[in-house]
């Protein structure tokens, strides 16, 4: 079946999805499939879906049509969160042949027979309570950095979120498995690893199939800091109540963990946080930001925030806006609330008019631009290290400093995946930073 068969992948959503797509793709290649780009003709197209927002759902049909344009007879497979939550809905989309849920997606090649088109998509999706085992994953080959999955699922009950319904209970990779995967990434010559999961601060729970913590998140980063050959380790999104002082202090002294934190806030109003069933209040969040800045004044801090949550008044939104204006953070990821089936929030009173949601979203996105600019300006004249990316964008190569400042230089393929000492000099009209070389010689692996 696999002789001369080509497969292509498309990933929607988060870093965790990218890690899992890459792992699934390697299984295809191990079994003899030839991986091609999604905009090329393939025999099989695998779409890894997301269902965090309504927009991700809508994009699925567009992606299916894009695959059909390349090959109308191709076999189309849907996997991921949307596939677990709404398998019947995806199976009815014209052209979709196979829908696999949270557990089944890692065995996708087992479900491929003669690749004959199905009139209605075939569904294999377990009850989410059965998705209680762990599959390690990491991404390589797609980007300069690698996304390393360390944890999956979530035991939190945030009223707006479908992720526990799509991914199941909180569970962790075994520490020795994480370290093994990190070493494999290092052997590929990748310079930076980003830790990813659904709730990575909960790392250690379910590590050996039980509910207790056999290791902590601190144990994880302490062990990873000793992996040879990796220059940078970056923590992705981590809940404020799980970001402990010991973690912040460790990062401040680490040679490998970089001063960049992404901490979900969701609302600057304590009353909205209670309705969301978040596990912290505003004072806890403020303390986390102040603690980071006390240890690392140059640290970059990103924030997730949701606008238009049911019952959010104008006063509560402005409370969030004013709070974020005064807080020493670096950028925002702004999400416009969208109703998600089977969540408590959809039953709440006080639905916010969509036009009001869009207005509030636009205001916060404007604030994000100002915050990022102010953070960049505060770093002008400082010396940083930059890791250059692989893409040629309009004659320029881009990269990120350890504290997540985007820089640019004229395209030079010899710079790809190399680290260099630079001095930040000015912000150009596109909001990207130009620099001077401190040394043109690449920094060596740690």
CB contact at 8 A, 172 and 201: no
User: How many angstroms separate the first and last alpha carbons of the chain?
Assistant: 44
Q: How far is residue 109's CA from residue 24's CA, in Å, rounded to a whole number?
A: 9
CATH number at 241 reads 3.30.750.210
Q: Is 171 inside any structural domain?
A: yes
Which of 127, 49, 53, 106 has its CA nearest to residue 83?
A: 49
- For the ranges 135-139, 199-203, 208-212, 442-446, the lowest mean pLDDT is seen at 442-446
Domain final residue, candidates 77, 109, 126: 126
Task: Give the helix/strand (H/E) hosting 335.
Answer: strand 331-336
H or E element that contains 77: strand 75-80
Note whether 390 and 286 are same-domain residues. Answer: no
The pLDDT of residue 143: 62
The predicted pLDDT at position 119 comes to 83
**pLDDT value at position 357?**
98
- Which of 205, 235, 258 is a domain's end point? 258
pLDDT tens, residue by residue, 276-333: 999 999 999 999 999 999 999 999 999 999 999 999 999 999 999 999 999 999 999 9
Residue pair 264/284 in contact by the 8 Å Cβ criterion: no
Task: State the total domains in the chain.
Answer: 4
Crossing angle (nearest 10°) for helices 217-224 and 175-187: 30
Least Cα distance to 15 among 323, 235, 208 occurs for 235
Rounded CA gap, 191 and 199, in Å?
24
Segment 21-38 shows an average pLDDT of: 95
- The radius of gyration of the chain's CA atoms, rounded to the nearest angstrom, is 22
Taking each helix axis from N to C terminus, what angle separates 282-295 and 245-253, rounded to the nearest 10 degrees? 20
DSSP calls for 288-326:
HHHHHHHH-TT-EEEEEEEE--TT--HHHHHHHHHHHHH
Pairing relationship of beta strands 406-410 and 396-401 according to DSSP bridges: antiparallel
Which strands, in side-by-side order, build the sheet including 34-35?
A: 34-35, 6-11, 44-49, 75-80, 96-100, 122-124
* Torsion angles phi and psi, residue 312, rounded to 5: -70, 115
Q: What is the pLDDT of residues 317-360, one digit of tens each?
A: 999 999 999 999 999 999 999 999 999 999 999 999 999 999 99
Distance CA 49, CA 84 (A): 9
With respect to residue 269, please indicate whether it lies within any of the assigned structural domains.
yes
The lowest-confidence range among 34-38, 205-209, 282-286 is 205-209
For residue 175, CA distances in Å to 145, 160, 230, 246 come to 21, 31, 17, 19
What Cα–Cα distance (Å) separates residue 199 from each residue in 170, 217, 226, 302? 8, 11, 23, 16
Sign of CA dihedral 101, 106, 111, 114: positive
Domain-ending residue, one of 238, 258, 278: 258
Residue 228 is assigned to a structural domain of this protein: yes
Task: Write out the two tokens for 205.
Answer: 């729970």
If asked whether residues 247 and 263 sit together in one domain, one would say no
In a domain, 444, yes or no: no
- CATH of residue 409: 2.40.50
pLDDT of residue 142: 55
Residue 245 and residue 273 in one domain: no
What percentage of the chain reaches a pLDDT higher than 70?
97
Secondary structure of residue 147 in the 3-state scheme: strand
Q: 136 and 254: one domain?
A: yes
Q: Does residue 312 sit within a domain?
A: yes
Furthest CA-CA distance within the chain: 62
Q: What's the domain range around 57?
A: 6-126
Q: What is the pTM of this model?
A: 0.93
Distance separating alpha carbons of residues 268 and 179, to the nearest angstrom: 37
């Amino acid at each position: 079946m696999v002789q001369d068969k080509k497969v292509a992948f498309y990933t929607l959503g988060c870093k965790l999805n990218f890690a899992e797509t890459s792992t699934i793709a390697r299984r295809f290649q191990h079994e003899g499939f030839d991986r091609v780009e999604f905009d090329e003709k393939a025999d099989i197209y695998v779409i890894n879906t997301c269902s965090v927002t309504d927009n991700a759902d809508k994009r699925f049909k567009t992606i299916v049509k894009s695959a059909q344009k390349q090959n109308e007879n191709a076999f189309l497979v849907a996997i991921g969160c949307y596939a677990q939550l709404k398998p019947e809905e995806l199976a009815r989309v014209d052209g979709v042949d196979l829908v696999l849920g949270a557990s089944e997606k890692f065995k996708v090649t087992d479900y491929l027979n003669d690749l004959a088109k199905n009139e209605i998509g075939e569904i294999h999706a377990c009850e989410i309570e059965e998705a209680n085992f762990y599959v390690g994953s990491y991404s390589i080959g797609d980007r300069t950095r690698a996304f390393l999955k360390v944890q999956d699922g979530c035991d939190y009950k945030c009223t707006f979120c479908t992720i526990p319904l799509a991914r199941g209970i909180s569970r962790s990779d075994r520490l020795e498995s994480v370290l093994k995967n990190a070493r494999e990434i290092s052997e590929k010559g990748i310079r930076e690893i980003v830790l990813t999961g659904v709730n990575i601060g909960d790392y250690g729970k379910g590590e050996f199939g039980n509910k207790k913590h056999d290791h902590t998140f601190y144990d994880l980063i302490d062990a990873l800091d000793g992996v040879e050959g990796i220059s940078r380790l970056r923590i992705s999104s981590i809940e404020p109540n799980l970001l402990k002082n010991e973690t912040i202090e460790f990062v401040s002294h680490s040679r490998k963990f970089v001063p960049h934190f992404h901490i979900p806030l969701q609302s600057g109003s304590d009353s909205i946080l209670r309705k969301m069933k978040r596990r912290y209040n505003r004072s806890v969040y403020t303390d986390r930001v102040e603690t980071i800045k006390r240890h690392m004044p140059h640290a970059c801090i990103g924030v997730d925030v949701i606008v238009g949550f049911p019952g959010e008044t104008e006063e509560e939104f402005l409370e969030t806006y004013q709070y974020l204006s005064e807080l020493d953070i670096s950028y925002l990821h702004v999400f416009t609330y969208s109703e998600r089936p089977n969540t408590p929030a959809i039953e709440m009173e006080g639905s916010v008019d969509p036009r009001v949601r869009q207005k509030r979203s636009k205001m916060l996105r404007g604030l994000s631009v100002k915050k990022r600019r102010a953070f960049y300006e505060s770093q002008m004249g400082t010396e940083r290290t930059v890791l250059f990316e692989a893409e040629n964008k309009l004659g320029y190569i881009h990269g990120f400093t350890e504290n997540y400042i985007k820089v640019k230089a004229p395209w030079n393929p010899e710079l790809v995946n190399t680290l260099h000492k630079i001095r930040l000099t000015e912000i150009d009209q596109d909001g990207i930073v130009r620099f001077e070389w401190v040394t043109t010689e690449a920094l060596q692996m740690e």
